[in-house]
Amino acid sequence: MEIIFATHNLHKTEEVRSILGPDYRIKNLPELGCPDIPETADTLKGNALQKAQYVADRYGRNCFADDTGLEIEALDGRPGVYSARYAGEGCSYQDNVLKVLKEMEGIANRKACFKTVIALILNGQRYFFEVRVDGIILPEQRGVDGFGYDPVFLPDGYNQTFAEMDGATKNSISHRGRAMRQLKDFLLEYPRP
Ligand code: ITT
Protein backbone atom coordinates (compact mmCIF):
# COMPACT_ATOMS: atom_id res chain seq x y z
CA MET A 1 0.00 0.00 0.00
CA GLU A 2 1.28 3.49 -0.86
CA ILE A 3 0.43 6.32 1.51
CA ILE A 4 1.61 9.92 1.81
CA PHE A 5 3.26 11.04 5.04
CA ALA A 6 2.70 14.82 5.15
CA THR A 7 6.08 15.81 6.52
CA HIS A 8 9.26 17.51 5.39
CA ASN A 9 11.15 16.04 8.33
CA LEU A 10 13.52 13.31 7.15
CA HIS A 11 14.15 11.98 10.68
CA LYS A 12 10.42 11.44 11.12
CA THR A 13 10.19 9.83 7.67
CA GLU A 14 12.95 7.39 8.53
CA GLU A 15 11.38 6.47 11.89
CA VAL A 16 7.98 5.90 10.29
CA ARG A 17 9.37 3.77 7.45
CA SER A 18 11.14 1.58 9.95
CA ILE A 19 7.99 1.22 12.12
CA LEU A 20 5.57 0.46 9.26
CA GLY A 21 7.92 -1.92 7.47
CA PRO A 22 8.17 -2.89 3.79
CA ASP A 23 4.44 -3.53 3.21
CA TYR A 24 3.87 0.25 3.18
CA ARG A 25 5.41 2.56 0.59
CA ILE A 26 5.74 5.89 2.36
CA LYS A 27 6.12 9.03 0.29
CA ASN A 28 6.93 12.28 2.12
CA LEU A 29 6.27 15.84 0.96
CA PRO A 30 9.61 16.47 -0.80
CA GLU A 31 9.07 13.21 -2.72
CA LEU A 32 5.55 14.37 -3.63
CA GLY A 33 6.90 17.79 -4.71
CA CYS A 34 4.70 19.53 -2.14
CA PRO A 35 5.86 22.86 -0.65
CA ASP A 36 5.87 23.66 3.09
CA ILE A 37 2.40 23.46 4.61
CA PRO A 38 1.45 26.24 7.03
CA GLU A 39 0.90 25.07 10.63
CA THR A 40 -1.29 27.77 12.14
CA ALA A 41 -3.48 25.84 14.57
CA ASP A 42 -2.92 26.19 18.31
CA THR A 43 -3.18 22.47 19.05
CA LEU A 44 -1.20 19.42 17.92
CA LYS A 45 -4.40 17.84 16.64
CA GLY A 46 -5.27 20.97 14.66
CA ASN A 47 -1.83 21.11 13.04
CA ALA A 48 -1.76 17.39 12.24
CA LEU A 49 -5.15 17.71 10.57
CA GLN A 50 -4.10 20.86 8.70
CA LYS A 51 -1.12 19.04 7.15
CA ALA A 52 -3.08 15.89 6.24
CA GLN A 53 -6.07 17.83 4.90
CA TYR A 54 -3.82 19.96 2.68
CA VAL A 55 -2.47 16.86 0.95
CA ALA A 56 -5.90 15.24 0.68
CA ASP A 57 -7.38 18.42 -0.85
CA ARG A 58 -4.53 19.26 -3.27
CA TYR A 59 -3.43 15.80 -4.32
CA GLY A 60 -6.52 13.66 -3.63
CA ARG A 61 -4.34 11.08 -1.89
CA ASN A 62 -4.71 8.99 1.23
CA CYS A 63 -2.30 10.45 3.76
CA PHE A 64 -1.38 10.99 7.37
CA ALA A 65 0.49 13.69 9.28
CA ASP A 66 2.08 13.72 12.71
CA ASP A 67 2.37 16.75 14.94
CA THR A 68 4.53 16.36 18.01
CA GLY A 69 5.33 18.63 20.93
CA LEU A 70 7.44 18.52 24.07
CA GLU A 71 5.49 19.78 27.10
CA ILE A 72 7.47 20.76 30.17
CA GLU A 73 5.47 21.02 33.40
CA ALA A 74 7.57 23.77 35.03
CA LEU A 75 7.32 25.86 31.84
CA ASP A 76 3.51 25.68 31.81
CA GLY A 77 3.56 23.18 28.95
CA ARG A 78 6.02 25.04 26.72
CA PRO A 79 7.40 24.59 24.09
CA GLY A 80 4.33 22.42 23.28
CA VAL A 81 2.76 23.17 19.94
CA TYR A 82 5.62 25.63 19.26
CA SER A 83 8.35 22.98 19.65
CA ALA A 84 9.72 23.34 16.10
CA ARG A 85 10.46 27.06 16.26
CA TYR A 86 10.80 27.57 20.01
CA ALA A 87 14.07 29.56 19.72
CA GLY A 88 12.73 31.62 16.80
CA GLU A 89 12.05 31.39 13.08
CA GLY A 90 14.77 29.42 11.24
CA CYS A 91 16.30 28.06 14.47
CA SER A 92 18.12 24.73 14.69
CA TYR A 93 17.38 21.75 16.94
CA GLN A 94 20.42 22.78 18.98
CA ASP A 95 19.07 26.35 19.45
CA ASN A 96 15.81 24.91 20.81
CA VAL A 97 17.55 22.50 23.17
CA LEU A 98 19.82 25.25 24.52
CA LYS A 99 16.83 27.52 25.12
CA VAL A 100 15.06 24.79 27.09
CA LEU A 101 18.19 24.02 29.13
CA LYS A 102 18.59 27.72 29.96
CA GLU A 103 14.95 28.10 31.00
CA MET A 104 15.21 24.98 33.16
CA GLU A 105 18.36 26.10 35.00
CA GLY A 106 17.85 25.80 38.76
CA ILE A 107 14.35 24.31 38.41
CA ALA A 108 13.78 21.18 40.50
CA ASN A 109 10.60 19.95 38.79
CA ARG A 110 11.98 18.33 35.60
CA LYS A 111 8.78 16.53 34.52
CA ALA A 112 7.99 16.62 30.80
CA CYS A 113 6.23 14.62 28.14
CA PHE A 114 6.26 14.17 24.39
CA LYS A 115 2.84 14.15 22.77
CA THR A 116 2.16 12.97 19.24
CA VAL A 117 -1.10 13.30 17.37
CA ILE A 118 -1.46 11.55 14.01
CA ALA A 119 -4.24 12.59 11.66
CA LEU A 120 -5.08 10.03 8.99
CA ILE A 121 -7.30 10.78 6.01
CA LEU A 122 -8.35 7.58 4.35
CA ASN A 123 -10.91 7.57 1.55
CA GLY A 124 -12.10 10.99 2.71
CA GLN A 125 -12.62 9.98 6.37
CA ARG A 126 -10.58 11.43 9.26
CA TYR A 127 -9.07 9.33 12.03
CA PHE A 128 -6.81 10.39 14.94
CA PHE A 129 -4.21 8.55 17.05
CA GLU A 130 -2.72 10.20 20.14
CA VAL A 131 0.07 9.06 22.43
CA ARG A 132 2.00 10.65 25.28
CA VAL A 133 5.31 9.52 26.78
CA ASP A 134 6.40 10.83 30.18
CA GLY A 135 9.93 11.56 31.31
CA ILE A 136 12.22 14.26 32.61
CA ILE A 137 14.44 16.98 31.16
CA LEU A 138 18.08 16.39 32.05
CA PRO A 139 20.28 19.36 33.03
CA GLU A 140 22.62 18.58 30.13
CA GLN A 141 22.57 16.84 26.73
CA ARG A 142 23.38 13.14 26.43
CA GLY A 143 23.72 11.17 23.18
CA VAL A 144 23.99 11.98 19.49
CA ASP A 145 21.29 9.88 17.82
CA GLY A 146 17.69 10.89 17.12
CA PHE A 147 16.78 14.53 16.58
CA GLY A 148 15.08 17.53 18.14
CA TYR A 149 14.89 17.40 21.92
CA ASP A 150 16.04 13.75 22.15
CA PRO A 151 19.40 14.54 23.88
CA VAL A 152 17.69 16.09 26.92
CA PHE A 153 14.67 13.78 27.28
CA LEU A 154 15.00 10.79 29.61
CA PRO A 155 11.87 8.62 29.37
CA ASP A 156 10.51 7.28 32.69
CA GLY A 157 11.86 3.81 33.51
CA TYR A 158 14.97 4.08 31.30
CA ASN A 159 18.50 5.26 31.96
CA GLN A 160 19.25 6.33 28.38
CA THR A 161 17.94 9.45 26.66
CA PHE A 162 16.20 9.01 23.30
CA ALA A 163 19.47 10.26 21.74
CA GLU A 164 21.50 7.51 23.47
CA MET A 165 19.16 4.73 22.28
CA ASP A 166 19.43 3.08 18.90
CA GLY A 167 16.55 3.86 16.56
CA ALA A 168 14.75 0.57 17.15
CA THR A 169 14.74 1.05 20.93
CA LYS A 170 13.48 4.63 20.66
CA ASN A 171 10.72 3.51 18.27
CA SER A 172 9.68 0.69 20.62
CA ILE A 173 8.75 3.14 23.41
CA SER A 174 8.44 6.59 21.86
CA HIS A 175 5.36 8.75 21.30
CA ARG A 176 5.67 8.43 17.50
CA GLY A 177 6.49 4.72 17.62
CA ARG A 178 3.41 3.89 19.69
CA ALA A 179 1.10 6.19 17.72
CA MET A 180 2.36 4.71 14.44
CA ARG A 181 1.73 1.17 15.68
CA GLN A 182 -1.86 2.20 16.45
CA LEU A 183 -2.13 3.53 12.90
CA LYS A 184 -0.61 0.33 11.50
CA ASP A 185 -3.06 -1.87 13.47
CA PHE A 186 -5.89 0.29 12.17
CA LEU A 187 -4.73 -0.08 8.56
CA LEU A 188 -4.39 -3.85 8.98
CA GLU A 189 -8.03 -4.06 10.10
CA TYR A 190 -9.28 -1.68 7.41
CA PRO A 191 -11.20 -3.45 4.65
CA ARG A 192 -9.22 -3.56 1.38
CA PRO A 193 -10.99 -3.18 -1.95
P1 ITT B 1 6.76 18.38 9.87
O2 ITT B 1 5.77 19.39 10.40
O3 ITT B 1 7.19 18.65 8.47
O4 ITT B 1 6.26 16.97 10.05
P5 ITT B 1 8.44 19.22 12.08
O6 ITT B 1 9.90 19.02 12.38
O7 ITT B 1 7.92 20.62 12.06
O8 ITT B 1 8.12 18.44 10.73
P9 ITT B 1 6.65 18.66 14.30
O10 ITT B 1 5.97 19.98 14.11
O11 ITT B 1 5.81 17.46 14.52
O12 ITT B 1 7.64 18.34 13.09
O13 ITT B 1 7.66 18.67 15.53
C14 ITT B 1 7.98 19.84 16.21
C15 ITT B 1 9.35 19.72 16.80
O16 ITT B 1 9.30 18.83 17.91
C17 ITT B 1 10.43 19.15 15.89
O18 ITT B 1 10.98 20.15 15.06
C19 ITT B 1 11.44 18.65 16.90
O20 ITT B 1 12.23 19.70 17.41
C21 ITT B 1 10.52 18.15 18.02
N22 ITT B 1 10.29 16.70 17.90
C23 ITT B 1 9.32 16.08 17.20
N24 ITT B 1 9.43 14.74 17.32
C25 ITT B 1 10.50 14.53 18.12
C26 ITT B 1 11.15 13.38 18.61
O27 ITT B 1 10.73 12.16 18.30
N28 ITT B 1 12.21 13.54 19.40
C29 ITT B 1 12.67 14.77 19.72
N30 ITT B 1 12.13 15.91 19.30
C31 ITT B 1 11.06 15.80 18.49
What is the phi-psi region of residue 106: left when phi exceeds 0, alpha when psi lies from -120 to 50, beta otherwise? left
* Domain housing 25: 2-189
Number of domains in the chain: 1
Note the pLDDT tens digit of each residue in 103-124: 999 999 999 999 999 999 999 9
Give me the mean pLDDT over the 139-167 stretch: 98
Q: Is the pLDDT of residue 161 over 90?
A: yes
Diameter of the chain measured on Cα atoms: 58
CATH number where 87 lies: 3.90.950.10
Nearest-atom index, ligand 1, CA of 79: 16
Give me the mean pLDDT over the 152-166 stretch: 98
Among 9, 39, 145, 178, name the best residue to mutate to test ligand 1's pocket (greatest count of ligand atoms within 8 A of Cβ). Answer: 9
Note the pLDDT tens digit of each residue in 61-80: 999 999 999 999 999 999 99
DSSP 71: E
Q: What percent of the chain has pLDDT over 90?
A: 96
Q: Is the pLDDT of residue 192 over 90?
A: no
Q: Is the pLDDT of residue 193 over 90?
A: no
Centroid of ligand 1 to alpha carbon of 56 (angstroms): 21
Centroid of ligand 1 to alpha carbon of 8 (angstroms): 10
67 is catalytic: yes
Alpha carbon nearest to ligand 1 atom 10, residue: 67
pLDDT score, position 156: 98
In this structure, the residues whose C-beta lies within 6 A of any atom of ligand 1 are 7-9, 12, 66-68, 83-84, 93, 96, 146-150, 162, 174, 176
Query: How many other CB atoms sit within 10 Å of the CB of residue 40?
Result: 8
DSSP 132: E
pLDDT score, position 84: 95
Residue 59: pLDDT band with limits 50, 70, 90: very high
Which residue among 23, 42, 57, 67 is the active-site one? Answer: 67
Query: How many other CB atoms sit within 10 Å of the CB of residue 122?
Result: 17
Is residue 103 within 8 Å of 50, Cβ to Cβ? no
